[in-house]
Amino acid sequence: MNKRHASITEFRESFAMALGAIAAHKLRSALTLLGVLVGVFSIIVVMTAMRVMQSNIERQLSSLGSSTFMIRKMPNSYFGYSSGDYEKYWRRKNITLDVAKRLEEKVSLPLNLGMETAFRAGTFSTRYRSDAPDVKLYGETPGSFPAHNWEIAEGRLLMDSDVDGARPVCVLGSNLATNLFPNTTAIGEEVKIDGIHYTVIGVLVGKGAMAGGDQDNFAVMPITTGLKRYGRPWWSINILVQARDQASYDATLEEVRGAMRVIRKVPPGQEDDFEVASNNSRIDQFKKFTSSVRLGVALVSGIALLAAGIGIMNIMLVSVTERTREIGIRRAIGAKKRNIMVQFIMEAVVLCEVGGAIGVVLGILGGNLLALFLKLPPAIPVDWVLLGLAICSVVGIVFGTYPAWKAANLDPIESLRYE
């Protein structure tokens, strides 16, 4: 118990002396810890930004149900792809409405199969409001609504007859309905979109704000109506497929993939000429991109920390020379070599940790600027913060050991004579 108490006391005294030595040479200490600060900052700022982006993507996954996947002409995002990859995807045949209908006839496992595409944001107006800004406009079929987890609050959803007849009807997101019809129900009212009148047949249940935007500020019309007004019948669309349950998800995906390969006449052995996008595929694609970014950041940070470690060793050697007489006095009054080594290693570690702590704070603040810009909740990568501070301790121990060993092995008598 006494030995343990003595060790704690020694640790406290060494820590206090380390802080005193750093405070006594503020400018020198600041310049020395700058390298550690830059190394830790570069790691934390990137990892914080990555965590914000990951949070953003995970939030966006709620747009697809857990048992839903999407068939697309091109990838949903281009993390890690080159310009050559983009050209390859662009040259693929479009997924047309006819292809989607043939797929619907061929498969039997899906619970729902929907077709969708996005049109350019139009000008929305009603007799109550002249303009509604930043409105998204989608063309859908009835099967898209359960795949997107869209539920009806008022009125009804699209029906097959609306799509087959390309009727001028629409379903509104809850916020858009409130903005366009602030004091009355939207059901049965008319909305003018780019100068053309549409009858509102339904209003969806609100989902709230997410990923820096409003999930409920959009309108849905029959996909056939939208393609006639904004696109061409051979415009590439997306196909939403909802499995009956999670247990049949893989079988449903394979059935749909096989049917699509037959419809698009993909030869055996060749890769698909379409994309299958799901919650897992988006996460995997993001991780593939971030792994290379992490590697680059680790390389840059490693070089910065190596340079910082060499600087710390140099400063500690200078400190040993300056404090030679102090070391001699301590040895003369009974300090052991171990006590001297602990003191100087502690000083190097504290120097690194101060720089690391400042780097962590600045890195978290810098990385969360992305969250502020995207209007997302801030993120703190606790695991990387702890790892960064642990690396700082390792740098301090590794590069402080030689100066500490040199200080501990000075001749006490010669040290007392040193001027």
List, in order, residues 6 or more apart from 411 with CB less than 8 Å away.
none
Domain end among 244, 279, 314: 279
pLDDT at 293 over 80: no
Please tell me whether residues 238 and 372 are part of one structural domain.
no
pLDDT tens, residue by residue, 176-234: 898 889 888 999 999 998 888 999 999 999 876 554 556 778 999 999 999 888 876 55
Please tell me whether residues 40 and 78 are part of one structural domain.
no
Domain count, the chain: 2
- 345: Cα separation from own chain's centroid: 38
pTM score, whole prediction:
0.61
Question: How many of the other CB atoms lie within 10 Å of CB of 368?
Answer: 20
Domain end among 245, 279, 313: 279
Q: What is the pLDDT of residue 301?
A: 82
pLDDT at 73 over 70: yes
Please tell me whether residues 55 and 73 are part of one structural domain.
no
Please tell me whether residues 118 and 148 are part of one structural domain.
yes
Q: What is the pLDDT of residue 322?
A: 81
Percent of the chain topping pLDDT 90: 23
Please tell me whether residues 353 and 259 are part of one structural domain.
no
Question: How many of the other CB atoms lie within 10 Å of CB of 337?
Answer: 14
- 309: Cα separation from own chain's centroid: 31
Please tell me whether residues 214 and 324 are part of one structural domain.
no
Q: Which domain holds residue 205?
A: 65-279
Q: What are the φ and ψ backbone dihedral angles of 333, each rounded to 5 degrees?
A: -95, 10
pLDDT at 11 over 70: no
pLDDT at 256 over 90: yes
Please tell me whether residues 252 and 311 are part of one structural domain.
no
Residue that is written with structure tokens 């503020």 in the block: 26
Domain end among 234, 262, 279: 279
pLDDT tens, residue by residue, 303-321: 888 888 888 888 888 888 8
Please tell me whether residues 117 and 258 are part of one structural domain.
yes
Please tell me whether residues 191 and 92 are part of one structural domain.
yes
pLDDT, averaged across the chain: 82
- 351: Cα separation from own chain's centroid: 32
Mean of pLDDT values over 5-11:
63
What is the β-pairing status of strands 196-204 and 209-210? unpaired
pLDDT tens, residue by residue, 340-361: 888 888 888 888 888 889 999 9
Which of 72-86, 241-255, 389-403 is the least confident region?
Answer: 72-86
pLDDT tens, residue by residue, 98-119: 999 999 999 999 988 999 998 8
Q: What is the pLDDT of residue 369?
A: 87
Please tell me whether residues 191 and 273 are part of one structural domain.
yes
Please tell me whether residues 298 and 149 are part of one structural domain.
no
Q: What is the pLDDT of residue 115?
A: 92
Please tell me whether residues 197 and 297 are part of one structural domain.
no
